[in-house]
C-alpha cells in the first residue's frame, strides 16, 4: 500500500514554550516521557546533536516484550530553538513502516501567552491503514509529555 497520508496532531500544554522544547529535545528528558502506553525509550540509546544537520537516535522497547524494538535514526533538516524542528527519519522494527521510505517529522512550538504552548506534530507519509494508529500514538505521547512536565514543575 502506498504511504501517502500525513498525520497532524495538536495539543495545548500549560507550560512555557522553552520548557516544552527542552523536554522534547534534551536526550535526558526525552527518555523520561517518549513512548506510547506499553512502550518506553531506552535512556541509554537517546542521542541528539541539536543543530542543523545534527543526528538523532533512540530505541523504543515494548514493555511486555523487550525483544520488540523500534529504532529511529534521524537528521535535523531544520532546527530553531524554541520554535520548530524538522527531521528526516528512518524507522526500523515497526512492521507498519517501510524502513526504506523516509518519514519527515515536523514539530512546531507556538507560544500561547507566557505560560502555554501549542505543540503541533506533522509526520508522514504513512500508509492509510496505519495513519490513525500512529496519530493516536502521538496523542498518547503528548499526554505523557504533559504529565512529565507537571511532575517536574511540582518538584
Residue 36 has pLDDT above 80, yes or no: yes
How many percent of the chain have pLDDT more than 70? 99
What is the residue whose three cell numbers read 517518549? 34
Q: Report the candidate in 145, 138, 141, 144 with the shortest Cα–Cα distance to residue 124.
A: 138
CATH topology of domain 5-154: Alpha-D-Glucose-1,6-Bisphosphate; Chain A, domain 4 (3.30.530)
Per residue in 139-151, pLDDT (tens digit) is: 999 999 999 999 9
Residue 1 has pLDDT above 70, yes or no: no
What is the C-alpha separation between 135 and 131, in angstroms, rounded?
6
Domain locations in the chain? 5-154
Per residue in 88-99, pLDDT (tens digit) is: 999 999 998 999
Amino acid at each position: 500500500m502506498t504511504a501517502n497520508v500525513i498525520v497532524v496532531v495538536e495539543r495545548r500544554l500549560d507550560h512555557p514554550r522553552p520548557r516544552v522544547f527542552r523536554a522534547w529535545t534534551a536526550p535526558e528528558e526525552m527518555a523520561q516521557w517518549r513512548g506510547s502506553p506499553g512502550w518506553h525509550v531506552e535512556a541509554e540509546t537517546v542521542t541528539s546533536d541539536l543543530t542543523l544537520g545534527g543526528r538523532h537516535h533512540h530505541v523504543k522497547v515494548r514493555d511486555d516484550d523487550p525483544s520488540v524494538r523500534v529504532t529511529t535514526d534521524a537528521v535535523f533538516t531544520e532546527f530553531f530553538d524554541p520554535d520548530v524542528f524538522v527531521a528526516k527519519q528512518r524507522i526500523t522494527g515497526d512492521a507498519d513502516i517501510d524502513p526504506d521510505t523516509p518519514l519527515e517529522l515536523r514539530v512546531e512550538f507556538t507560544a500561547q501567552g507566557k505560560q502555554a504552548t501549542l505543540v503541533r506534530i506533522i509526520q508522514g507519509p504513512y500508509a492509510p491503514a496505519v495513519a490513525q494508529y500512529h496519530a493516536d500514538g502521538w496523542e498518547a505521547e503528548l499526554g505523557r509529555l504533559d504529565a512529565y512536565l507537571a511532575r517536574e514543575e511540582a518538584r
